Amino acid sequence: MRKLILPVSILAVILALVVLAPVLPLADERAMDIPHRFAGPSMAHWLGQDEFGRDVLTRLIYGARASLSIAIGSALAAALIGTALGLLGGYFRGIVELFTVRAAEIILCLPPLLLALLVVTIFGAGFWPLILALTLLYTPNYARVVYAATLQVRALDFVTAQRALGTHPLKIVLRTMLPNVLPPLVVQISLVIASAIVIESGLSFLGLGVVPPTPSWGLMIRAARGAMEQAPLLLLWPSVALAGTILTFNLLCDRLQSVLDPRAVPAGGAIWLRRRRTTPIAPRIAPDQVERDHAPADLLSVAGLTISLDRPGGIGSGMELVRGVNLGLRTGETLALVGESGSGKTLTSLAVTGLLPDVLKITAGTAAYRRRDGELRDLIAEDEDGHRQLRGDEISMVFQDASAALNPVHRIGEQLTEVILAHRAIGRAAAKREAVALLGRVGIPDAERRARAYPHELSGGQRQRAMIAIAVANRPKLLLADEPTTALDPTIQAQILALIADLKRESPEMGVVFVTHNLAVVAEIADRVCVMYAGQVVEEGPVAKVFARPRHPYTVALIGSVPEGDAERLVAIPGAIPAPGHMPPGCSFAPRCDHAVAACRKAPPPEFWPEPDRRTRCLRFEEVT
Amino acid sequence: MLRYITYRSLVAVFLVWIVVTLVFLLLHLVPGDPAEVLLSQGSTAADPQAVANLRDRLGLNDPLWLQYAHHIGGILTGDLGTSFRDGAPVAGQIVQRLPRTLEVIVTAALIAVLLGVPAGTLAAIRAGGWIDNVISFLSSLALSTPVFVVGSVVILIFAQELRLVPAGGYVPFAVDPARHILLLLMPAGTVALALWAVVARMSRGSVLDVLERDYVRTARAKGLKRRRILKRHVVRNAMIPVLTVLGLEMGTLIGGTVLVEFVFNWPGLSGYLVSAVDARDYPEVVGIVMVISILFVLLNLVVDIVYAVLDPRISLTR
């Protein structure tokens, strides 16, 4: 509400001046003083005198009177009529809608100023024709806005209830609907007043609006143009008054909108586009330390990865969504990341590629990655340019929803060609040929023709195949697949999994991180599995061993929740993942765990290694079955 | 695609019919006798003989349906009647003046896009920063200052005080190209200012919206260069709604250049309209309003089709 103070107080001053004009100690707005025409500012005439020697300040204030009364008058008249039409049309729909809202919209077929001129042609210039023209002009705007709001309110439960109770429609419309459509109406009124002032002053400027000697800003500017040589200031005052008033109404409208609709919080742009580092640089780890700590994970080794919400001053800023995640990946290995939504599995994979949303920040951790040329790089410390060189080339991603992840306005072939050209020095024609071959390779029939199709012309399965083709175009060392089959139906799902397995056989070097919540998929595709819960890895090990003998109660529950046959979704485990920022002091799974003992609730359990290739975060891993 | 264009064209024809009918109704169903209204000046009553003559000339004694048929027939054959003032055919005047108005509008739109899109994109990339604030302030100011004020101030500064340019006027391109362009740039630049603000604001919002889309993340995941992502995947997509709004704004401008043409003494269609309204030259006003409205509808049709070409999804969803 504080945002409204500025525009409202300026408008209050303007309105007070306008209303109080007759009682203020002003000169007579029509009193001429020919000998002193074009006199500059003086004590008696603060803003000087015009071409007839009249007091400019007085005429400015009386001009506001004309402009504002016409603008506000017609804005309110149009609001009244338009609201009635919109409410009736929106409430009754059908034939009533045709004769109210749709009928009013016909006016929108005419350019606004033209309609006003047409009315002036018929009725002549003057105060009332202006009101009529502007009312006619703005009625459809209100009708539309109110109609849209009415449709929304109409569908709400309490309106349906009233209708069911047999309340008289007129009573519902006036008592229930009207108050609910008021917010958009108020915004619209301030918008229309500003716009009406523009048209009124424009018509007056043309000599087709307010009739002299009544003062009006448009007329004052018109007169001042003729006297530019003698008194350029005469042009300035009404111009400033006019632009200032319109600016204030526009400001009011903007502020009203942001107050009434707080959802429209301005976004922060995109940090990655700016030539700055996208992530704060964590201290680089010594390569030999990585070798020591994660010797078997020669391709990718993530250690202590922590991701927090970074919204300075915002709600929940500093909350940790991913907490100290360790995971390793060997060359040619497929690692599955499983867990419920919100477990941090997607964030972990995004962090590795530097694609985290701007509101998230990596606050700790390293991700050692061995490049093709053997160089060891910390992906967390990489800036946007460093990531850019790797992404799409050595490290690539397949996203969950291919229909959203492909650009709707570019052809499939083009979207594939550009990733090839971004990383390899080959000609456009060669890249195009390769793109077509790739589309064929991922199982898209008639690849030549399909390359010219737009994403919406392909089926869901084909879109995901195209997405995969983009990911493997440059033979990556590391492929991160984020729920690539979730949005597809089961038959297509199986085909996509088979395709990924196929591609892996072709490039045995490629390491795959497969993010999913589907355990059946894990069993089918992965060598090892990493179970995530509430931003932590709770258990990790070879798929066969983990499934045969889980070492964490959460894994047990996950396996138990898979129904016979192909499960598409996890059946709920009682309770819910604790919200970030509301983590229990001990083990984060303890509130939902049957095995939990007092010790579990006291302190977060460390990692245990029941076998050399397995780990778990459960104090009672021995007892879990 | 062809089906879509056909469909939109039919809608446009329907809208043109509505406009034509609307203008007819506005002039014939207003309370009172149009002839009397047209001839009366303020409180002085019209001369009965003149009213009768006018009724005869306007065909107001015919039954309404016949008048309507004449009205439609005239438009279909391109006959918009003759002027009250000088008896010249209205259609001829319009054909001569329309290109000059379109020239101003198209030039203004070009300037607005060339300056507005980069400004809006920059503001979006730096959202919340000082560049964003400056651009946002400038666009609010430009939107709040009516064109005739901008035009008058431009003349005051550049023509009156600095003596850099003439205060307006028109020279045919064939006679003196340099001067023609100089004279064109003043009204076009003035119109462009407000249009620039609209384009910049729309671009900013649209770019911010597109930046959140998954396909921009995909473009980044491909390792494309910033410039390419910005050009091919952000601005290219963000321009679709911006161009739509620009097209609609240009439509409004066809009738809205009245003030600019008046200020800069540019002999376009709108100036003709003002003098016709001033003289209450009925056939002229009706003719011009009709032509502008039809252009308005046609322009919206073109915008729709361009939109469908830019966004290949559209033609399927309708």
The pLDDT of residue A436 = 94
- Of the ranges A307-311, A419-423, B61-65, which is most confident? A419-423
Q: 3-class secondary structure for B34-47? A: HHHHHHCECCECCC
The pLDDT of residue B116 = 93
The span from the CA of A521 to the CA of A531, in Å, is 14
Q: Which residue of A has its CA nearest to B151?
A: A225
The per-residue b/e assignment along A26-45, b for 16 or more CB within 10 angstroms, e otherwise, is bbebeeebeebbbbeeeeeb
The span from the CA of A28 to the CA of A336, in Å, is 86
Would you put residue B223 in left (φ > 0), alpha (ψ -120 to 50) or beta? left
Whether the predicted pLDDT of A259 surpasses 80: no
The pLDDT of residue A319 = 85
For the residues B291-305, what does the mean pLDDT come to?
81
- Which residue in B156, B255, B278 is closest to A228 by CB distance? B156
Torsion sign, CA atoms B81, B85, B88, B92: negative
Report A:381-420 residues touching B (Cβ under 8 A).
Answer: 384, 387-393, 396-397, 399, 401, 404-410, 418-419
* CA of A113 vs chain B CAs: smallest distance (Å): 6
Two structure tokens written together for B153: 């101030």
At A480, is the secondary structure helix, strand, or coil? strand
Cβ contact, residue pair A393, B221, below 8 Å: no
The span from the CA of A403 to the CA of A459, in Å, is 9
Two structure tokens written together for B103: 């020239």
Q: Give the Cα-Cα-Cα angle A257, A259, A262 (nearest 5 degrees).
A: 90
Confirm if A432 and A417 have CB atoms less than 8 A apart: yes
Cβ contact, residue pair B273, A117, below 8 Å: yes
Amino acid at A605: P
Cβ contact, residue pair A109, B237, below 8 Å: no
Q: Which residues contact B82 (CB under 8 A, 6 or more apart)?
A: B88, B89, B90, B283
Whether the CB of B131 is below 8 Å from some CB of chain A: the reply is: no
Domain spans, chain B: 2-90, 95-316
Q: Is the peptide bond before A476 cis (omega within 30 degrees of 0)?
A: no
- With both helix axes pointing from N to C terminus, report the angle between A178-206 and A56-92 in degrees, rounded to the nearest 10: 140
For the residues B177-190, what does the mean pLDDT come to?
88
Residue pairs spanning A and B at CB distance below 8 A: 233
Whether the predicted pLDDT of A64 surpasses 50: yes
- Top pLDDT among A412 and A487 is at A412
Cβ contact, residue pair A114, B289, below 8 Å: yes
Whether the predicted pLDDT of A466 surpasses 90: yes
- A378 to each of A175, A221, A353, how far by Cα in Å? 64, 67, 11
Whether the predicted pLDDT of B219 surpasses 80: yes
Confirm if A282 and A365 have CB atoms less than 8 A apart: yes
Contact residues, chain B, for A457 at CB < 8 Å: 312
Whether the predicted pLDDT of A421 surpasses 90: yes
Is the full-model pTM beyond 0.95?
no
The pLDDT of residue A477 = 92
Confirm if A215 and A67 have CB atoms less than 8 A apart: no
Give the range among A293-297, A564-568, B306-310 with minimum mean pLDDT: A564-568
* CA of A383 vs chain B CAs: smallest distance (Å): 13
Whether the predicted pLDDT of A253 surpasses 60: yes
Contact residues, chain A, for B312 at CB < 8 Å: 408-409, 454, 456-457
Query: What does the DSSP assignment read for A553-594?
Result: HHHHHHHHTPPSS--SSPPPPSS-PPPTT---SS-TTGGG-S
Across the beta sheet with A320-329, the strand order is A320-329, A300-309, A360-370, A376-378
- End-to-end CA distance of chain A: give it in Å, rounded: 58
Rg of the Cα trace of chain A?
35
The pLDDT of residue A180 = 78
Check if the interface score ipTM surpasses 0.95: no
* Per-residue pLDDT reduced to its tens digit, B107-121: 999 999 999 999 999
Report A:247-266 residues touching B (Cβ under 8 A).
Answer: 247, 250-251, 266
- Which residue in A109, A202, A390 is closest to B293 by CB distance? A109
Amino acid at A185: L
Contact residues, chain A, for B140 at CB < 8 Å: 247, 250-251
Whether the predicted pLDDT of A266 surpasses 70: no
Contact residues, chain A, for B125 at CB < 8 Å: 269-270, 273-274
Q: Which of A98, A102, A118 to mutate to test the interface with B (most CBs of B within 10 A)?
A: A118
Confirm if A309 and A359 have CB atoms less than 8 A apart: yes
* CA of A468 vs chain B CAs: smallest distance (Å): 12
The span from the CA of A510 to the CA of A516, in Å, is 19
The Cβ of residue B161 has, within 10 Å, a number of other Cβ atoms equal to 11
Give the range among A63-67, A127-131, B168-172 with minimum mean pLDDT: B168-172
CA neighbours closer than 13 Å in the CB half-sphere of residue A28: 6
Q: 3-class secondary structure for A84-138? A: HHHHHHHHHCHHHHHHHHHHHHHHHHCCHHHHHHHHHHHHCCCHHHHHHHHHHHH
Whether the predicted pLDDT of A470 surpasses 90: yes
Q: Which residue of A has its CA nearest to B290?
A: A110
Give the range among A158-167, A370-379, B37-46, B92-101 with minimum mean pLDDT: B37-46
Cβ contact, residue pair A470, B42, below 8 Å: no
Whether the predicted pLDDT of A17 surpasses 60: yes
The pLDDT of residue A343 = 86
The pLDDT of residue B61 = 73
- Which residue in A106, A207, A409 is closest to B278 by CB distance? A207
Amino acid at B30: V
Cβ contact, residue pair B274, A239, below 8 Å: no
In residues, how long is chain B? 318
Would you put residue B173 in left (φ > 0), alpha (ψ -120 to 50) or beta? alpha
The span from the CA of B117 to the CA of B210, in Å, is 14
For the residues A244-257, what does the mean pLDDT come to?
86
Query: Which pairs from B226-232 meet CB under 8 Å and 24+ separation?
Result: B226/A272, B226/A273, B226/A384, B228/A418, B228/A422, B229/A273, B230/A273, B230/B121, B232/A407, B232/A410, B232/A418
Whether the predicted pLDDT of B207 surpasses 50: yes
Cβ contact, residue pair B285, A118, below 8 Å: yes
Q: Which residue of B has its CA nearest to A268?
A: B127
Contact residues, chain A, for B289 at CB < 8 Å: 110, 114, 117-118
* Per-residue pLDDT reduced to its tens digit, B29-43: 665 566 666 666 555
Cβ contact, residue pair B233, A407, below 8 Å: yes
Query: Which pairs from A150-156 meet CB under 8 Å and 24+ separation?
Result: A150/A86, A150/A87, A150/A89, A150/A90, A150/A91, A150/A177, A150/A181, A151/A90, A153/A177, A153/A180, A153/A181, A154/A90, A154/A91
Torsion sign, CA atoms B236, B240, B246, B250: positive
The span from the CA of B230 to the CA of B207, in Å, is 9
Two structure tokens written together for A331: 């060359």
* CA of B174 vs chain A CAs: smallest distance (Å): 30
Whether the CB of A424 is below 8 Å from some CB of chain B: the reply is: no
For the residues A321-335, what does the mean pLDDT come to?
90
* Per-residue pLDDT reduced to its tens digit, B247-262: 878 877 776 788 888 8
* CA of A601 vs chain B CAs: smallest distance (Å): 40
Q: Among 1.10.3720.10, 3.40.50.970, 3.10.20.740, 3.20.20.70, name the CATH number for the domain at B95-316.
A: 1.10.3720.10
Whether the CB of B316 is below 8 Å from some CB of chain A: the reply is: yes
Whether the CB of B127 is below 8 Å from some CB of chain A: the reply is: yes
Whether the CB of A508 is below 8 Å from some CB of chain B: the reply is: no
* CA of A340 vs chain B CAs: smallest distance (Å): 22
Whether the predicted pLDDT of A429 surpasses 90: yes
For the residues A405-428, what does the mean pLDDT come to?
92
- Top pLDDT among A464 and B169 is at A464
Whether the CB of A191 is below 8 Å from some CB of chain B: the reply is: no
User: What are the structural domains of chain A?
Assistant: 47-260 (1.10.3720.10)
The pLDDT of residue B159 = 80
Whether the predicted pLDDT of A80 surpasses 70: yes
Two structure tokens written together for B309: 């070409």
The span from the CA of A97 to the CA of B203, in Å, is 34
The pLDDT of residue A564 = 56
The span from the CA of A350 to the CA of A391, in Å, is 11
Contact residues, chain B, for A228 at CB < 8 Å: 155-156, 160
Q: Is A563 exposed, middle or buried (0-12, 13-18, 19+ CB in 10 A)?
A: exposed
* Per-residue pLDDT reduced to its tens digit, B282-296: 778 888 888 887 887
Please name the helix (run of DSSP H) or strand (run of DSSP E) that holds residue A192, with its range, or none. Answer: helix A178-206
Q: How confident is the model at residue B200 (pLDDT cuts 50, 70, 90)?
A: very high
- Top pLDDT among A417 and B9 is at A417
The pLDDT of residue B274 = 78
DSSP state of A342: T
Torsion sign, CA atoms A214, A218, A224, A225: negative
Confirm if B55 and B61 have CB atoms less than 8 A apart: yes
* Per-residue pLDDT reduced to its tens digit, A335-357: 999 988 888 899 999 999 988 88
Whether the predicted pLDDT of B83 surpasses 60: yes
Contact residues, chain A, for B229 at CB < 8 Å: 273
- A157 to each of A162, A167, A261, how far by Cα in Å? 9, 14, 21
The pLDDT of residue B318 = 40
The pLDDT of residue A289 = 53
Whether the CB of A243 is below 8 Å from some CB of chain B: the reply is: yes
- Which residue in A113, A404, A456 is closest to B312 by CB distance? A456
The pLDDT of residue A487 = 77
Give the range among A454-463, A515-524, B53-62, B290-299 with minimum mean pLDDT: B53-62
Report B:59-78 residues touching A (Cβ under 8 A).
Answer: none
The residue to which tokens 């003709």 are assigned = B272
The pLDDT of residue B317 = 47
- Which residue in A390, A399, A401 is closest to B223 by CB distance? A390
* Per-residue pLDDT reduced to its tens digit, A596-614: 888 888 888 888 888 888 8
Confirm if A110 and B293 have CB atoms less than 8 A apart: yes
* Per-residue pLDDT reduced to its tens digit, A24-52: 777 777 777 777 776 777 766 667 777 77
Amino acid at A380: I
Strands of chain B, DSSP E: none
What's the mean pLDDT when you consider all of chain A?
83
Amino acid at A5: I
Cβ contact, residue pair B146, A399, below 8 Å: no
Cβ contact, residue pair B223, A250, below 8 Å: no
